[in-house]
Amino acid sequence: MSEVIVVTSGKGGVGKTTTSASFATGLAQRGFKTAVIDFDIGLRNLDLVMGCERRVVYDLVNVIQGEATLKQALIKDRNNENLYILAASQTRDKEVLTTEGVEKVINDLKGLGFDYIICDSPAGIEKGAHMAMYFADSALIVTNPEVSSVRDSDRILGLLGSKTYRAENDLPSIKEHLIITRYSAKRVNTGEMLSVADIKELLGVSLLGIIPECQSVLSASNAGSPVIRDDGSLAGKAYSRIISRFLGEEVPDDSAKKGFFRRLFASNKEKELA
Amino acid sequence: MNILRLLKRGKTAKAAKDRLQIIIAQERSQQSQQTDYLPLMRQEILKVIAKYTGVKLQDVKVDLQSNRSNSVLELNITLPENLKAKTPAEEKATETEEEVEAETA
Ligand SMILES: Nc1ncnc2c1ncn2[C@@H]1O[C@H](COP(=O)(O)OP(=O)(O)OP(=O)(O)O)[C@@H](O)[C@H]1O
Ligand SMILES: [Mg+2]
């Protein structure tokens, strides 16, 4: 059985592509055959974050328009044989995405034996975002602790519940998981930033995990290697915990605060190292 | 000097939450209002159609598509082949399929 998972947010720049890349890589690391599709037609980025930009020959639009086969367009990851990337077109208009075309690509991927199909949604609520979510079984709602991001996430939740294949055909609804990214515990503690509890309460969606604001995300993008591969980084560890939770394993809370003395100790140790 | 700034700063997350609570509730209710009247309206339209043609509930497809500024309501009614018009006005309906489009603000 394959599962289609959309990574969506409404608002731009909150970490959808970062999350798609690490989530897909994490599932592949656990042995699942995983495909990750970039739906951001005209503004493709997933190939860069995954480090395969120079190997893109054909893309999603070529497949939908019959200019290439799915097998020709799928790019096999260099580090993991379970992981494949389907790039977005950099030159076309997003209007070329059709429901029938996207449905065929997803069904063909299922036919090829993929366990997970991750759809990286573009920002906004237009065609690209609509197509990315339409055939989803689960959704990762990526939210930043910030007013406009939370509001847009709520809007997206409304669309997931009404403008998708499952909703339109009275099937069991899409499973929704909240992922809070670019979180700064320090700024929450000073009251500058919405807390995890606030966001959970406002959106009413169960929390899959919290990704801290982390310098390693930028270095990972620079290197073209999803941050989950950087297992020494805070963001990498947080994405790994998200994978475990998604697969139903028990893992400690992301927000579990260190005790005062441990924090003191840690910061002293950091000072020593510096 | 810092105490005042700290106090002020401490309030912004709370303000964000309060504002979001209001706007989200408002938007959610707008969204449901938009579609809540659909079943009822469908029933009423059907009554009228049934009165003249005898078309059944399951033969009528109602679809509402919305974007930011307007909504398009699409009614798809398959009329029976050998439809006998009951009123002179109905004699115009010769096609087997008719599409009625109504725009709501
Ligand atoms: N946890 C994090 N810590 C620090 N920086 C981050 C984090 N997550 C994402 N970023 C940075 O934020 C920027 C936007 O991230 P990303 O491209 O993943 O967002 P997106 O939601 O896919 O954007 P778009 O809506 O344009 O597709 C990038 O520069 C990325 O490196
Ligand atoms: Mg993106």
pLDDT of residue A61: 95
pLDDT of residue B93: 42
Which pair of tokens denotes residue A210? Answer: 């919290």
Distances (CA, A) of A143 to A118, A209, A212, A273, B28: 18, 11, 12, 34, 18
Rounded-to-integer distance, Cα A223 and Cα A233, Å: 14
Q: Which residues contact A218 (CB under 8 A, 6 or more apart)?
A: none
A193 vs B contacts (CB less than 8 Å): 13
Taking the CA atoms of residue B50, residue B54, residue B57 and residue B58 in that order, the dihedral angle to the nearest 10 degrees is -150
Which pair of tokens denotes residue A168? Answer: 């339109």
Q: Say what angle helices A196-203 and B12-53 make with each other, to 10 degrees.
A: 10
Provide mean pLDDT across the span B91-101.
41
Q: pLDDT grade, residue B94 (50/70/90)?
A: very low
For chain B, give the mean pLDDT: 66
Q: pLDDT grade, residue B105 (50/70/90)?
A: very low
B31 touches chain A (CB under 8 A): yes
Nearest-Cα distance to chain B for A198, in Å, is 7
Cβ–ligand 1 contact at A182 (below 6 Å): yes
Ligand 2 mean position, distance from CA A75 (Å): 18
Nearest-Cα distance to chain B for A196, in Å, is 11
Q: Is the Cβ–Cβ distance between A133 and A164 less than 8 Å?
A: yes
Q: Do A202 and B12 touch (CB under 8 A)?
A: no
Helices vs. strands in chain B: H and E counts, helices first: 2, 3
Model confidence at B96: pLDDT above 90: no
pLDDT of residue A91: 77
Instruction: Pick the atom of ligand 1 nearest to A14's CA.
Output: 21
Q: pLDDT grade, residue B4 (50/70/90)?
A: low
Written as one letter, the residue type at A72 is Q
Instruction: Pick the atom of ligand 1 nearest to A40's CA.
Output: 27
pLDDT of residue B59: 72
Quote the distance between the C-alpha of residue A156 and its chain's center: 15
Written as one letter, the residue type at A144 is N
B28 vs A contacts (CB less than 8 Å): 154, 158
Q: What is the DSSP letter of A226?
A: -
Among A126, A192, A201, A203, which would you mutate to test the B interface (most chain B Cβ atoms within 10 Å of its Cβ)?
A192
Q: Do B17 and A202 touch (CB under 8 A)?
A: yes
pLDDT tens for residues B57-92? 667 777 766 655 566 777 777 777 665 554 444 444
Q: Which residue intervals of chain A are DSSP H helices?
A: 16-29, 46-50, 60-64, 70-73, 99-111, 127-134, 147-160, 165-168, 185-189, 196-203, 215-223, 234-246, 260-273
What is the mean pLDDT of each successive set of 10 residues along chain A, which is 274 residues long?
96 97 98 98 94 93 94 97 95 85 97 98 95 98 95 96 94 97 91 91 95 95 95 96 96 64 46 38
Cβ–ligand 1 contact at A15 (below 6 Å): yes
Quote the distance between the C-alpha of residue A53 and its chain's center: 18
Q: How many residues does chain A have?
A: 274
Rounded-to-integer distance, Cα A115 and Cα A4, Å: 9
Q: Is the Cβ–Cβ distance between B77 and B70 less than 8 Å?
A: no
Model confidence at B9: pLDDT above 70: no
Instruction: Pick the atom of ligand 1 nearest to A120's CA.
Output: 22
Q: How many residues does chain B have?
A: 105
pLDDT of residue B52: 81
Q: What is the DSSP letter of A81?
A: T
Q: Do B23 and A190 touch (CB under 8 A)?
A: no
Nearest-Cα distance to chain B for A74, in Å, is 34
Q: Is the Cβ–Cβ distance between A11 and A149 less than 8 Å?
A: yes
> Mutation test of ligand 1: which of A17, A43, A179, A181 has the most ligand atoms closer than 8 Å to its C-beta?
A17
Quote the distance between the C-alpha of residue B84 and its chain's center: 32
Q: What is the DSSP letter of A17?
A: H
Q: Which residues contact B63 (CB under 8 A, 6 or more apart)?
A: B73, B74, B76
Cβ–ligand 1 contact at A211 (below 6 Å): yes
Burial degree of A104 (CB within 10 A; 0-12, 13-18, 19+): middle
Rounded-to-integer distance, Cα B94 and Cα B92, Å: 6
Measured between CA atoms, the residue of chain B closest to residue A150 is B20
Q: Which residues contact A247 (CB under 8 A, 6 or more apart)?
A: A30
